[in-house]
Each structure stands twice: as C-alpha cells, then as structure tokens.
Structure 1
Amino acid sequence: MLKNKYILFACCCLLTYCLQAQSGWTREAKGLYVQASIMNFSSNDYYTTEGRLADQGSDFNTSGLLIYGEYGVTDRLTAVLDLPLVRLNSFSTTETVGGVGNIQLGAKYKLLKSFPLSLQVALDIPTNDGTNFAQSKEPNAFGEFDVINLPVSDGEFNVWTTLAASHGFKNGKTYASAFSSVNFRTEDFSNQFQAGVEVGHLFFDKLYLIGKLKIQERLSSENNVQSGSFLFGEGTTFTSFGFTSMYKLSDHFNLVAQYSDYAGFLVDRKNVYDGGTFSLGLAFEL
C-alpha cells in the first residue's frame, strides 16, 4: 500500500516549465499536494517558424517562481491549480521585465473505478493583454533605446483537455503513464496538440527517478503564423524530454529537481528557443 502511494504521488504532482506530468490517477478525497518551484532557462539558439536555426546574437532568459496544487474533492475528482506567481523575461541586451503568468484552473476526473484513466479539463486565464515591453540596455545608432515585447502572459484564454492513462507494476516501485491533450485557443491563435509518456522507478524507498518524453504539434490547416512574440507560442512545435528526481525528506515534505530540454527527432523545433530548463522545488503532501 505504501509503495502504491508513492506511485500515485509521483504521477500526480510533478510540474515544470516545459514538461507537465499527466496521469490517470486522481487524489484521494481531501488529499492535498502543494509544490513551490524555481526555474531557469537561457539560450541564444532560436528555431524560426520554418524550423531554421538562427543565432540571435543575444541570450533569451526566463526564470520564475511556480506554485502548483492539487486537492481531492472526492476519490475520483481532483481540483488543480497552476500558478506562475512570478515570471521574469529578458534578453542579455535588455532590461528584465516580469509579472504573473497565465493562471490555470482545472478539474481531473477518474473515468473508471478499476483502471487509472482520467479526463482533465483546465482553463488558462490570462493575467494581462500580452504586452510587457523591455527596454534595451544600450541606445541604438540613432541614440534611442529600443523596446521589445516580452510577455509573461499570452493575453488569451486557453482550454486544455487531456486524456491520460497510467499503470503501476507489480513490484510496487515502477509506473508508466501516457497522455494526449488538445489546447483550444482563442484570439485567432492556432489550437495545439500534445502527447507524451513517462516512466518512473522508486529507489531505496526514498528516491524516485522519472523520465519523460513529449511532443507538441500545431492543429491548423492555415499556413500563416500570427506575428508577434515567440512567447505567445503561435506555430510552436517541438519534441521535449526531461528527467526528474524526487527525494522524500519526511512523511510530508519532498525535494524535487528537474531538467528538461528540446529535440527534433520526432517533431521539428519551430518558433522556440532551444535549451535546457532547470527547476528545483519543495513539495508538501497531506
């Protein structure tokens, strides 16, 4: 029973900037999970909307403080909150601007009593209109300071619908999950499709090591890509992979560290900066 609880914990709670875990399990009634994480990303390797690698000449940097929570309303229904409480964006040639990222509120429902298959619907709520201008550190040739939009919110509502299934193996220490998800976007943005898998194993009854793989595709027949910051995610496609370590500090507290990165072996990288994201978090479970 204890090992199964570890598996449920590992599958339900993980969250990072690039790779969000999805599983077929829900939390037990009145069960609570809260995680606070800091993350950092830096890169100057930008893949254009045509998939061409273009060195931008300056690094793009983003960091933040992320809050993630789950609460078991019933044994089959879990409420989910994803709150980028602080998001900081900059180029190496600009000042840093910040704000609160899109707030995601969701509900996950376990469809079958005998098998961990869940359906989750989550609403992404914008926190601003998608404008957040950063000024250059140095003046241009005309003696003026340039500005660039580095939004922390895409300024539009999204509805994520996710179907996920999981399986815990008989040894009580290993699990696997798979999911598919569609993001229905507004404001003339293209809808998005994601799918992914993850596998985790418990070592020494305290340390979970987890590997993940995810793809994102654009769901649209139009060839045009809406102009604007790459941070809006319009026309963005990729393959991403990640590794998570989760160490049990006590009965209620856990230390979570994660690395994620992009690749192009399944889906081409388009309209995305390519590089690794690091995150470190502290989780509380009740």
Structure 2
Amino acid sequence: MKNNKYIVLLVFSFCVAYVQAQSGWTREAKGFYVQATASYFSSNDYYTTEGRLADQGSTFNSGGLLIYGEYGISDRFTAILDVPLVRLNSFSTTETVAGVGNIQLAIKYRLLKSFPLSLQVGLDIPSNDGENFARSNTADDFGQFNEINLPLSDGEFNVRTTLAASHGFANGKTYASTFTSINFRTESFSNQLQVGAEVGHLFFDKLYLIGKLKIQERLSSENNVQSGSFLYGEGTTFTNFGLTSMYKLTSHLNLVANYSDYSGFLVERKNIYDGGTFSLGLSLEY
C-alpha cells in the first residue's frame, strides 16, 4: 500500500501545462492537488511552416503564472482545472502584452480497476478573441509605431481527448506512463495529435526526477496552413523533451522545477520558436 502511494503521488505532482504529464491514475475520492508555477521562455530561433530555420532578427519572450488543480470526485473520477492566470508575450523590439491564457476544464475517468488506464476529456475555453497587439519600441522611417499581434489565447474552443496508461514498478519508487491525445479544434484550425511517454524515480525518499518525451503532429487532409501568428499553433509540429524535479519540503508541500526544450529528432519543428522553457513552482497535496 505504501509503495502504491509513492507512485500515485509521483504521477499527480506533474500534471502541468506546456509539458503536461498524463497518467492512467486518478486521485482518491476527496483528495486534491494544487500547483502554482512561474515559467520563462526566450528564443530567436524560429522554424517556419516549411521547417526552415529563419533569421528573425529579434527575440521572442514569453512567461507567465500557471495555476493547476485536481480534485477526486470519486476514486475513478477526477476533475481538473488548468488556468494560465498571467501570460506575458513580447519581442525584443516590442512592448509586452499581458493577460489570461486558455482555460482548461477536464474530467478524467479510470477505465479499469485492475490497471491504471484512463480517459480524459477536456474543454479549452478561449480567454479572448485571439488579438493582443503589441506596439514597437521605436518608430519606423516614417515616424510610425508599428503593431504586431501577440495573442495570449488562440480565440477558439478545443476539445482534448487523452488515453493514458501507467505502470508502477515493484520497488515502489519508479513508474512509467504513456499517452495519446487528440486536440479537436474549431474556427477552421487543424486538429492535433500528441503522443508521449515519461519515466520517473524517487531518490533518497525526497527527490523525484522525471524524464519526458512528447511529439506533436498536425491532423488535416488539407495541404495549406492557416495564416496568422505562430502563437495560434496552426501547423505547429515538434519533438519536445524535458526533465522535471520535485523536492519534498514537507509531507504535503513540494518545490517543483522543470526544464523542457524542442528538437527535430522524431518530428520536424514547424511554425515554432525553438528554445528552452524554465519553470519553478510550489505544489500542495492532501
């Protein structure tokens, strides 16, 4: 029983956005988990919709504060709330725009009692119409200050469906999970497929380390990619890898740190800025 508690705690501690963990476990009835995370990203390496590395001449910066929570409705049903409470976007040549990102509400259901296999259905709710214009820091040759759209939300509703399976090893300190997710998008955007896996281990009864790998592909029968900001995610494909650590400060409070990055190892990078994301946060579980 104690071994199972280690594995369940390990998995639920890392269901955060951007490199979101997915597992076959659900929370115990009336149990909850809350995490607040601050993140930062900066890069001038932009890959076009054709997968070509372009010279942009300016650096894109993004950051924010994420609030994530889970509540066990029953032993087999878990409610999930994912809120990018503050998002900050800018280029090195523009002012910074700030606001709330897409809000996700989801329900996860454990399909089998004897094996950790779950189905999660989530609704992404847009926080605005997808338009947040940032003004340039300097005027152009005609004395005009130009504006560029740096959306904090893609302005459309998504339905994400995820099937995940997990396995806890006999030592009670190691687990592995894998998942497949389809993001059904509206407003003429292409649907997206994500497939991922992660492995985690508990060291010294205090420190959790988790390695993650995820790919994203575009699901569409059309050859064209909708025009617009790369922040809409249209035509965006990538391989994402990351490392998450959690240190137990107390029996309920944890310090969480994460690093993730992109590569073209399995899936080519398209319509994306390539660089590392750093995040740091605190989590509370009962």
Q: Which residue of 1 aligns with 2:235?
A: 235
Note the 1:190-205 alignment, pairs <5 A: 190-205=190-205
Aligned identity (percent) is 77
CA distance in structure 2 between the aligned counterparts of 1:156 and 1:105, rounded to whole angstroms: 14
How far did residue 55 of structure 1 move? 2.1
How far does the alpha carbon of each residue in 1:187-226 deviate from its partner, in whole angstroms, 9 at most, with x for none? 0000000000000000011110000000000000111111
Q: Which SS does the other structure have where 2:11 is aligned?
A: helix
Q: Which SS does the other structure have where 2:178 is aligned?
A: strand
**Contact 1:17 1:39 (8 Å CA) reproduced:** no
Structure 1: gaps (5+ residues): none
Aligned: 1:244 with 2:233: no
Task: Compute the RMSD of aligned alpha carbons.
Answer: 0.8
2:261 partner letter: D
How far does the alpha carbon of each residue in 1:4-57 deviate from its partner, in whole angstroms, 9 at most, with x for none? 212112212314442100000000000000000000000000000000001211
CA distance in structure 1 between the aligned counterparts of 2:2 and 2:66, rounded to whole angstroms: 28
Q: Which SS does the other structure have where 1:6 is aligned?
A: helix
Q: Which residue of 2 aligns with 1:71?
A: 71
Note the 1:1-286 alignment, pairs <5 A: 1-286=1-286
How far did residue 3 of structure 1 move? 3.3
1:203 partner letter: F
CA distance in structure 2 between the aligned counterparts of 1:123 and 1:190, rounded to whole angstroms: 16
How far does the alpha carbon of each residue in 1:35-90 deviate from its partner, in whole angstroms, 9 at most, with x for none? 00000000000000000001211110000000000000000000000000000000
CA distance in structure 2 between the aligned counterparts of 1:273 and 1:18, rounded to whole angstroms: 14
**Contact 1:105 1:124 (8 Å CA) reproduced:** yes
**Contact 2:7 2:174 (8 Å CA) reproduced:** yes
CA distance in structure 1 between the aligned counterparts of 2:34 and 2:11, rounded to whole angstroms: 14
CA distance in structure 2 between the aligned counterparts of 1:235 and 1:162, rounded to whole angstroms: 20
Structure 2: gaps (5+ residues): none
CA distance in structure 2 between the aligned counterparts of 1:17 and 1:89, rounded to whole angstroms: 17
Number of aligned residue pairs: 286
CA distance in structure 1 between the aligned counterparts of 2:151 and 2:91, rounded to whole angstroms: 12
How far does the alpha carbon of each residue in 1:94-122 deviate from its partner, in whole angstroms, 9 at most, with x for none? 00001000000000000000000000000
CA distance in structure 2 between the aligned counterparts of 1:40 and 1:225, rounded to whole angstroms: 28
2:141 partner letter: A
1:221 partner letter: S
CA distance in structure 2 between the aligned counterparts of 1:258 and 1:189, rounded to whole angstroms: 30
**Contact 1:35 1:67 (8 Å CA) reproduced:** yes
State the TM-score, normalized to the length of structure 2: 0.99
How far does the alpha carbon of each residue in 1:105-152 deviate from its partner, in whole angstroms, 9 at most, with x for none? 000000000000000000000010000000000001111001000010
1:90 partner letter: S
**Contact 1:13 1:70 (8 Å CA) reproduced:** no
CA distance in structure 2 between the aligned counterparts of 1:17 and 1:46, rounded to whole angstroms: 21
**Contact 2:22 2:179 (8 Å CA) reproduced:** yes
Q: Which SS does the other structure have where 2:6 is aligned?
A: helix
CA distance in structure 1 between the aligned counterparts of 2:276 and 2:77, rounded to whole angstroms: 34
CA distance in structure 2 between the aligned counterparts of 1:121 and 1:259, rounded to whole angstroms: 26
What stretches of structure 1 move > 4 A for 4+ residues in a row? none
